[in-house]
Amino acid sequence: MISLAKPFFDEKEKEAVGRVLDSGWIMQGKQVADFESNIADYCGARHCIAVTSGTAALHICFMALSFSQGDGIIIPSFAWPAAANIAHLLGAKPIFVDSKISDYNLNVDLLEKIIEQSISDGIRVKAIVPVHQFGAPCDIKEILKIANKYDLIVIEDSACALGTKISGQQVGTFGLAGVFSFHPRKIITTGEGGAIITDSTEFAEKCRALRNHGNLNSAGLNYRMTDIQAAIGLVQLGKLKSILSKRKYIIEIYLEVLDGQDGISFPDYLLNSECSEDAAKAIQTLMVLLDNDIDRDKIIARMAEFKIETNTGSPAAHRLPIFSKTSDTCPVATELNEQGLALPLHAAMTKEEARRAAETLLDLINPKSYEEPHTAEFETCLAE
């Protein structure tokens, strides 16, 4: 079976876990402190708070900001609905914005109108939580300008985007805070896990307290990462550069076989991909868009018959039963949700597997249109 996603482990993770077990100290301790300082250094952030998941990271951020009943939080519909769920659980209102076909990210052109409308509906709009969807950088600089105009806080949901940079700056460091996920499908994993990064010492202190029972001075949670997880994370972080290169190589194989073929389109940011460190992109999920006349779910089922795991990309949160409205307020998100196809992508994947997945998909969509790919041209991308 060619898996959709797989962690990139070797003996080093096993040895690191073994050392923690032998030490007798397995809860949050030195490994977590080291993991936090390495993540903060890598990202260029002053503080990092490691937690049990990306969802826990968002929960802590929202609680640190006291989001509650009557507050509005602007969130792209086309994303994993962790932020929307937490807003809902806190009694706040997720306000969904549509995405762009070009990069599946929040469409900034729609933002001001939605903010104005929400304010005139009597909602206290407090924050924007843009997502760097599947690792693609969103238009964070434009989002920040609008946030400043309306005095809104920005928390970047960078769950999928460790390693993605804009002009050399790691995403997650533009707003008040950024969150990462270390779920096994993400760029690096700790089994489950997450982190908050921020330059604000005051915000970091609130987050640290909320992670650990409020430090017994205020109400809090137990969202502590264990030293076992952090030991895995430290090894994974050391491999980040090679993980990103390997994923990029696999994407180039898909592009060689599938780009320009009828019925299938790639997001623009993959076609314009650069090799430079300054514009590094950590592509966590490779989602292509199938034409409307192609039955996406049937393709998923047929690919499975060939032992190739594919999936839908992401939910369109505005259509989930807990949030659903009668009218379709985010039509692009709906289309991405209905016609998006996530292809196998992970650092342990071989080029033969990538080619087989791409050719099988092509054959299912456009039988007999397959041409031999020219792999030599893109192998230079791996030079680093």
Ligand X SMILES: Cc1ncc(COP(=O)(O)O)c(C=O)c1O
Please give the residue ranges that form the binding site for ligand X (CB under 6 A).
53-55, 79-80, 82, 131, 157, 159-160, 181, 183, 194
Q: Is 55 or 329 the residue whose CB approaches ligand X more closely?
A: 55
Cβ 165 to ligand X shortest distance, Å:
18
On whether the CB atoms of residues 282 and 163 are closer than 8 A, the answer is: yes
Cβ 73 to ligand X shortest distance, Å:
13
Cβ 180 to ligand X shortest distance, Å:
8
Give me the long-range contacts of 215-222 (CB less than 8 A, separation at least 24).
221/56, 221/59, 221/60, 221/63
**Nearest residue to 330 (alpha-carbon basis) of 317, 311, 313, 314:** 317
Cβ 34 to ligand X shortest distance, Å:
20
Q: Is 232 or 358 the residue whose CB approaches ligand X more closely?
A: 232
| Rounded CA Rg of the chain | 21
Residue with tokens 């802590």: 60
How far is it, in rounded angstroms, from Cα 199 to Cα 47?
6
Report the residue closest to ligand X, judged by CB.
54
Q: Is 7 or 194 the residue whose CB approaches ligand X more closely?
A: 194
How far is it, in rounded angstroms, from Cα 138 to Cα 164?
10
How far is it, in rounded angstroms, from Cα 375 to Cα 354?
12
The 3-state DSSP composition of the chain as helix, strand, coil percent (nearest 5) reads 45, 15, 40
How far is it, in rounded angstroms, from Cα 50 to Cα 212?
11
Q: Is 131 or 362 the residue whose CB approaches ligand X more closely?
A: 131
Q: Is 20 or 56 the residue whose CB approaches ligand X more closely?
A: 56
The amino acid that residue 248 corresponds to is K
Cβ 129 to ligand X shortest distance, Å:
9
Cβ 281 to ligand X shortest distance, Å:
15
Q: Is 54 or 163 the residue whose CB approaches ligand X more closely?
A: 54
**Nearest residue to 130 (alpha-carbon basis) of 91, 168, 184, 166:** 166
Q: Is 92 or 159 the residue whose CB approaches ligand X more closely?
A: 159
On whether the CB atoms of residues 281 and 257 are closer than 8 A, the answer is: no
Cβ 244 to ligand X shortest distance, Å:
17
